[in-house]
Amino acid sequence: MGKIKDFFAKRAHLKKEQAEIRAQKDYEKRRSLLREGKLKKRGVIGLCLGGGGARGFAHIGVLKAFEEYGVKYDLCVGTSAGALVGALACCGMKAEDIYAYGEKLSMRDIRSKNLLISASTDGIKKIITDNVGNRNIEDLPTKFCAVATDLVSAREILLTEGELGCAVSASCCVPQFFKPVVMGELHLVDGGLLNNIPADVCRMLGADYVITVDVNPTRYVGTDELGSIAVIKASFSIMMANSSYKGYLNSDVMIKVDTDKFKSYSKDGFDEMYALGYEAGKQAIPEILEKIYF
């Protein structure tokens, strides 16, 4: 009786091994076809890039993985750092070129004043103009939207036309750290106040499937300190956590990049954040193949 049980156990194990080998071969074949551009998307694909300050350097790594594996998207919506990286990508910049610029960039190029004094967003706008010149959103080769918040009406504002540099700087405009960006009657600040992971906006703009990158999945952090910087950081952490849940509900593929040990206002760890994004992007390829392509 024991020999019979051993026989069937070995047989079941062999079948399992054979199934795993077939599945791996099938995945490798589909991955090769994806790289060659021979797989079809199931519909309109939206890419959502969430906010996270300097942690947004990880977005570049994810885009590099997408380029290597042939992952395509039809539109991109970004908040804050996600809007900055997404805007450059939608202009046609390659991840390696965005990386090269970021590698040389100093945080003082973005904001040189004391942290407690509101600065202009000209440094953010300059990143756009340095790389792609003065462009209008509606003229970009890939459909793009930057999400901002209007202080006057307390509404979410979707910037889908007009000057790209102004739209991105508005989406990245962290209150107190930067002066609001004035557009007509709008006083615009960071889109993360109301929608830090705008996957729902991808849906609104026509996406059938949404791939989302969250570069700050461990954002749920408070503080017991009373210093100004600690209080401001904790306040934004709470707001961003509250404004991120919709993104998870509206995403088909969620790519989480754990950047918890890095600071949202510092470039320290730039290469490691990029590498973490790249690895997270690669790890998401099987799920993207399964849900997005046929």
| Catalytic position from the list 74, 150, 190, 252 | 190
Q: Is 80 a catalytic residue?
A: yes
Cα dist from 87 to 15, 97, 138, whole Å: 49, 13, 12
Q: Is 190 a catalytic residue?
A: yes
Known catalytic residues? 80, 190
